């Protein structure tokens, strides 16, 4: 960023919290440097940002309400929604022009928001998925899809790739295609726990397993219910962080106990850091933000890919092959 004070529009995709938490370090750094930050998102992503940065101005900026299946047919469900997604990208692009004019925005930092670029405004697109993985039997089209993807990313001033440049890395082919966009560079895994001091919460208790539940519905709830049933059946002392930020910045997140399982809706960075450091066993989705956080703490986990999400299935097997994580299918829980 420049030495002058800027007005920065920060906008994550609202499909789960992974894209959102990855922006926390950039927001914090911008504030330390004296820049003005405007938050723009929707749903639980906006709820998280409002709770994390209650003093910052915000704009409700919806993208597209992607409908996720309760089974593993995510690709089929997504294909029929592509026209609506493309329309939402164009709509967001028109809206960002209005926001730039109204708030005198000088810089945009977005996470997978393809419409957030504007002439004369420096725009940064953060990603952990350049190469888009197709389901088994459809991989023949991945090269063509990447050609279109790379073309779309040329509209941005910079592409920041949230992974290591070399080997080993977190995402394999997803972040290391043979040909990068010309405006792309690696920034390394991004964790919101940088400069965070671990703090034991009042509700802390002895536990054997830490479960980090994340992702869009209905799979988030399905995953949570499967884990809870398994822990109760085996009489396992477990803590489940549910990934449900408060709707209001003033709301106190719920903490409930169900037998041997402690359910925590949401936690401060310090409290969550304490649990991750204390955990002897962790179960989670192989989302990039979660993996980046575990990498930051030097922790491993049992990965449970979201059924049908090809990028998570690929990343989980990539990390299993490196010997750094173990993998289990959700149906086998």
Tens of pLDDT along 278-325?
999 999 999 999 999 999 999 999 999 998 889 999 999 999 999 999
* Residue among 91, 158, 122, 97 nearest 8 (CA): 122
The domains found in the chain, sorted by start residue, are 7-186 (3.40.50), 209-328 (3.40.50.2000)
The string of pLDDT tens digits covering residues 67-103 is 666 666 666 666 777 787 888 899 999 999 999 999 9
Q: How confident is the model at residue 57 (pLDDT cuts 50, 70, 90)?
A: very high
Report d(CA 212, CA 283) in Å as an integer: 6
Strands (E), 83-236: 107-111, 122-127, 158-161, 184-186, 209-212
| Cα–Cα dist 163/171, whole Å | 7
Give the pLDDT score at 82. Answer: 78
Q: How many helices (H) and strands (E) does the chain have?
A: 10, 14
What's the confidence (pLDDT) of residue 24?
95
pLDDT at 2 over 60: no
Q: Beta partners for 209? A: 238
Region of residue 138 (phi > 0: left; psi between -120 and 50: alpha; otherwise: beta): alpha
pLDDT score at 76: 66
Q: What is the pLDDT of residue 1?
A: 59
Q: What is the pLDDT of residue 323?
A: 95
CA distance linking residue 245 with residue 108, whole number of Å: 24
Torsion of CA 114, 115, 119, 121, to 10 degrees: -70
Q: How far is the C-alpha of 122 from the C-alpha of 313, rounded, in Å? A: 34
pLDDT band at 44 (very low <50, low <70, confident <90, very high): confident
* Average pLDDT of the residues in 6-11: 97
Confidence (pLDDT) at 64: 67
> Taking all residues of the chain, what is their mean pLDDT, rounded to a whole number?
91
pLDDT of residue 72: 61
pLDDT of 275 strictly over 80: yes
pLDDT tens digits for range 207-226: 999 999 988 888 899 999 99
3-state helix, strand, coil in the chain (%, to 5): 35, 15, 45
Q: How many Å apart are CA 41 and CA 159, to the nearest integer?
A: 20
What is the C-alpha to C-alpha distance for residues 107 and 276, in angstroms, rounded to an integer? 34
DSSP state of 128: S
Q: Is the separation of the CB atoms in 126 and 133 below 8 Å?
A: no
Q: What pLDDT does residue 18 have? A: 85
Q: In angstroms, rounded to a whole number, what is the distance separating the alpha carbons of residues 174 and 289?
A: 14
Evaluate if pTM is beyond 0.85.
yes
**DSSP letters for 198-262:** P---TT----SEEEE--SSTTHHHHHHHHHHHHHHHTT--EEEE-----SSTTPPPPEEEETTEE
- Provide the pLDDT for residue 268: 92
User: Which pLDDT tens digit goes with each residue over 125-178?
Assistant: 999 999 988 877 677 789 998 999 999 999 999 999 999 999 999 999 999 999
Is-contact 158 136, C-beta < 8 A? no
Contact partners, residue 86, CB within 8 Å, separation at least 6: none
pLDDT for the residue numbered 88: 86
Element (H, E) at 284: strand 282-284
- Position 327 scores a pLDDT of 97
């Amino acid at each position: 960023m420049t030495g002058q004070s800027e007005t920065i529009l920060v906008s994550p995709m609202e499909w789960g919290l992974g894209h959102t938490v990855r922006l926390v370090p950039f927001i914090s750094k911008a504030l330390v440097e004296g820049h003005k930050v405007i938050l723009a998102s929707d749903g639980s992503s906006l709820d998280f940002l409002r709770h994390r940065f209650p003093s910052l101005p915000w704009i409700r900026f919806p993208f597209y309400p992607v409908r996720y299946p309760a089974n593993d047919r995510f690709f089929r469900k997504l294909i029929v929604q592509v026209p609506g997604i493309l329309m939402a990208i164009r709509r967001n692009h028109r809206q960002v022009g209005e926001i730039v004019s109204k708030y005198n925005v000088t810089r945009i930092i977005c996470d997978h928001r393809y419409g957030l670029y504007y002439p004369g405004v420096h725009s940064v697109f953060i990603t952990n998925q350049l190469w888009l993985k197709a389901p088994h039997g459809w991989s023949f089209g991945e090269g063509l899809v990447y050609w279109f993807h790379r073309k779309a990313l040329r509209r941005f001033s910079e592409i920041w790739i949230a992974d290591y440049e070399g080997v080993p890395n977190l995402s394999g082919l997803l972040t290391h295609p043979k040909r990068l966009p010309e405006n792309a560079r690696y920034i390394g895994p991004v964790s919101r726990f940088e400069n965070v001091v671990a703090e034991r919460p009042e509700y802390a208790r002895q536990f054997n397993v830490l479960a980090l539940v994340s992702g869009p519905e209905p799979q988030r709830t399905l995953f949570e219910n499967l884990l809870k049933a398994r822990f109760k059946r085996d009489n396992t002392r477990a803590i489940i962080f549910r990934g449900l930020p408060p709707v209001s910045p003033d709301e106190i997140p719920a903490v409930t106990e169900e037998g041997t399982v402690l359910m925590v809706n949401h936690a401060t960075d310090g409290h969550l850091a304490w649990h991750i450091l204390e955990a002897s066993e962790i179960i989670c989705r192989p989302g990039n933000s979660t993996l980046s956080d575990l990498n930051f703490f030097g922790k491993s986990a049992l990965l449970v890919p979201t059924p049908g999400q090809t990028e998570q299935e690929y990343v989980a097997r990539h990390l299993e092959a490196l010997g750094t994580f173990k993998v289990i299918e959700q149906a086998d829980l």
